[in-house]
A and B are shown apart, each in its own frame.
Chain A
Amino acid sequence: MKGFKIFWSAFLLASCFALNTTESRHTNNWAVLVSTSRFWFNYRHMANVLSMYRTVKRLGIPDSQIILMLSDDIACNPRNAFPGFVFNNADRQLELYGDNIEVDYRGYEVTVENFIRLLTDRWPEEQPKSKRLLTDEHSNIFIYMTGHGGDEFLKFQDAEEISSYDIADAFEEMHEKKRYNEIFFMIDTCQANTMYSKFYSPNILAVGSSDLHESSYSHHSDTEIGVAVIDRFTYFNLEFLEKLEKDSKSTLQDLVDSYTFEKIHSNAGVRTDLFQRNLSDVLITDFLGNVQQTVVDNVEDDLLYLTNHDKQGWSRNSSTPKILDIEEQRNASFFNQNKSMITLGACESNQISSTKLLTIGSVITALLFFANYVKI
């Protein structure tokens, strides 16, 4: 009896863990997008971050959950031959600045202090909600940084630096404050992989554009604007992400597999040891999207066709259809709809039950252990 109890509790625990590692448990998505360098000749960093902004927005993260830190206003730089526009490609097919962007931190507001405060949410009372990262323990956060970096540092504004320790400690504080469920950290600078080398908090996945002592390169220049418009690593990330839709089943493994030295001209790195799940189980949209767990029913919408044709697809010749038949069809479709609704409900209950199951499992295990302990 005792052996059975132990076995049973072990089984339950194992199932809990299994649940934990295969399926994302997040309920909301946030993105923090940071460009850290100023000046006209760093046009590409602003273009990088605006491209990422566009992508996460396209994949469903609302503006209210995107913190965009843009260190310089190149769209309105006098040197810009296309005033008010920012492009990330010399073909200039896609304008990134538009009239629908919300910059949360701009120009000299993009500082190391503000970035750390943002992550750890240590603000004075007057800090507006819109400029805060209001995450909880169910939040998946995508953090993208670009700028000029070196061995374990990233330059902010040509004036100060953030070190890999600073970010690692900020993440730990976030972890202790239960401010995230999982973090996907992406960085595109020279020697980028050194920036995530000091992370030690759980559930963080990090990718970087280049190894220690490696430069990250720009992809191409626009000869009319006269500057490089995008970096290689970001360019090829975007190339991959652009193919995705909100319901895409592509996983982070697919994304990581797309990084090759031939394309990026530097050794892009991935750090998975802190991350609990297998990358091939993690959807890209777990971080870059905001996908609700809903299933859309397939309502048979062409009622006219259904009315006029029989089940074999033969057209009914009688000019006045039998009311009964129509009734039947309607019932059928209603039934279908009901079925879909039920499915929807089931899905929801399934979701609830997975959490419930976890709780129940833990409670039972605890009880069994307790029983074991008191030798009942």
Chain B
Amino acid sequence: MALLETIQRKINKYGLLPKLVRSLPKISTLLTILGVLWTLMLPLDGQFRATYISENALMPSQAYSFFRESEWNFVRGYRDQIIEHIDDPMEDRHEMLSSWLKTIGYKTFEHESHNGSRTTYGIYHVPKGDDTEAMVIVAPWTTSDGEKNIGGLALTMGLVRYFHRLSIWSKNIIVVFPEDGQDTLRNWVDAYHTALDETGGSMESAIVIEYPSESDELDYIEVNYVGVNGQLPNLDLVNCAVMISEHEGFKVSLHNTPKGQLWANDYPSRLTTLLKGLYAIATAGLLPESGGGNGCEAFSGWNVQTLAFKAKGTEGRDITTLGRVIEACFRAVNNLLEKFHQSFFFYLLLTPNNFVSIGNYLPAAVLTAASFVISSLSALLTNNNVNNKHISFNDAAVRVDTLPLIYGLLLFATVTVGSIFCGTMLMWFSSTVSFADNNKLYTMLTWGLILTSTAVSTLPLVLRYKLQPSAAISQIVRIANGCSLFYLAFALVSLLVLDFSLSLLISLAAFPLTFIRYGALSQNRKNSIWLILSSPFLWLTIVGVAHKLEFQLDVVRNLIQYFSLPLLKRELQTKIFDTDWLNPAFIQNVLQGPVELFYGLLTGYRRFQTWTWMVISFAWLPVWIMSLIITCIDVQIGDFEKKKVN
């Protein structure tokens, strides 16, 4: 005990506790910096691992694939027919596909979704299987980029014809041809699990094929795997796809990595893929009204391991090679005895063959979320009131009166409930007002919100009024500030295991909120910067515009990694000088970016069960509004005034 007592005395003697309390804001900032550093450290050698097939039942590529020249003739035949009929009405195209499938031996059906779009699907009840599980192959008529999926449809037809001739299946095969791979497919998947009479058992895996070219060849494969709400397919399936593709000679691209980078495996390239992955996971499921997305969102949430293969380039290996990749993936899944469970469901890929598992990356988001916990503590311990600046902290003096506590909590609760209400109302609004017919309304709504939020952020700059100095007000503000920050920290912590990327990115975007200080209005000017920087609508604008400008992180990485003046000049030339920035159509298009993203946010839950808007409007936005209110209150006295008077 003596030792503890000595320590305690020393702490008192040197005033360590007050010093510690006063340095809480610095600790909070430090934690966020550490969180960022942690993320940046992940692509360093030794921090990540090589991927491996964990489930030994899969045995990818152990069997020889026979999808070769003879099948190529069928693919060509189907392709000619598809090219000929691609512009026919959907009913005719449905008739064509179902007659083909029936001839092969599939049971075919049609599903019409709420918005009238149609899905043709066929089920092959495999003779030797137990008819309880199924593997799904999907070829939408239009790709996520809005192109006609000619090669994908032809290849899928060739594959399903070929699959029917094999006698090795233990799981049913379902082939789906939706009009598009977004809402229509999602509707079909929802209906499959809830309403459809004709099903083929629980879906173990789904593979979406997008190959818009009419050519016979392709260069490399882009594998998309990101689902909504941070849900990813089991790493085993991704590994299988990568391993099989490389076995067949394809390079695999993740997150739109350009061809030149497919051989790279250095720190910058890994970091780029990591950041692109984080961004992709955090923004998954926010699709514009048509097209967009990565093809995997439709199956997300139904525990179907989904991959989307996008064929890139028009020369290199022939189309049957892609067919063999898919065949081998199907055989691997067919070999499974149980559901995918061996490998990771939470991971970040650095290259197709390297990953960081959840245990290694989670601390990053823990650190950034802890930063909010510390800053909420700091707020409760009176650090944020600038009037306290020159008064040394004494823990005995922190007073919390009942009435100010109730008022503070009420204020916070009102703002939160109000924000939740508004967020929900906007979701309801988006479900009743169609985007296509009311584009102008949505544009006005989005930009109105963006401009309003920016305008109110400048309130601390322009507000001029004085309040009667009152200790109650400073207490109310303190409670409201501390509670709101704690609420955000709580929300981020609860989110971080499920959707690490969203939690991390929100905590970084909202990080300036921890810098907000309150006091007399004349002292609050800097708060405007923090409010603007941490505004959800600012980030909405940035992300929306970046999406429309087709911003590629690889370009930035390339510029930094191989910096030279000619390169910089060339990039500036192509990306900035060659762009006609004043072209009204171009501006119109760029300005539509945030609008489409906002529409995606609002409709995300209804269409794909994406929580992103809820996280924003239930947690981030109320805390932001709360911070705005706090900075607009004139707090004349510090928390120790009263004690000093006494």
> Taking beta carbons and an 8 Å cutoff, which residues of A are in contact with B?
39-41, 77-81, 83, 221, 223-228
Contact = CB atoms under 8 A, between A and B. Distances in A.
A223 B334 CA distance: 16
B126 interface: yes
A227 B168 CA distance: 12
Given A39-B337, A40-B57, A41-B335, A223 B62 contact: yes
B129 interface: yes
Top 5 closest A-B pairs, CB basis?
Answer: A226-B63, A78-B128, A78-B170, A223-B64, A226-B62
A228 B62 CA distance: 9
A39 B57 contact: yes
Given A40-B335, A223-B64, A226-B62, A81 B56 contact: no
B335 A79 contact: yes
5 contacts: A40-B57, A226-B59, A226-B62, A226-B168, A227-B62
B331 interface: yes
B57 A41 contact: yes
A41 B130 CA distance: 18
B57 A83 contact: no
Interface residue range, chain B? 10 to 19
A79 B59 contact: no
Contacts of A83: 128, 167
Contact of A227 (B59, B126, B167, B170): B59
B500 interface: no
Contact of A226 (B56, B126, B167, B335): B335
A81 B57 contact: no
B57 A224 contact: no
B57 A78 contact: no
Given A78-B130, A226-B168, 9 more contacts: A77-B170, A78-B129, A81-B167, A83-B167, A223-B63, A225-B63, A226-B331, A226-B335, A228-B62
A40 B129 CA distance: 13
B126 A78 contact: yes
Nearest to B61: A226
Nearest to A39: B337
B259 to A, nearest CB: 31
Contacts of A224: 63-64
Nearest to A228: B62
Interface string B585-604: 00000000000000000000
Interface in B56-71: 56-57, 59, 62-64
Interface in B123-174: 126, 128-130, 166-170
Contacts of A39: 57, 337
A81 B170 CA distance: 11
A89 to B, nearest CB: 16
Contacts of A80: 168
Contacts of B59: 41, 226-227
A74 B383 CA distance: 71
A80 B167 CA distance: 8
B337 A40 contact: yes
Contacts of B170: 77-79
A228 B57 CA distance: 12
Contacts of B128: 78, 83
Nearest to B166: A81
A77 B334 CA distance: 12
Nearest to B62: A226
Nearest to B127: A78
A41 B56 contact: yes
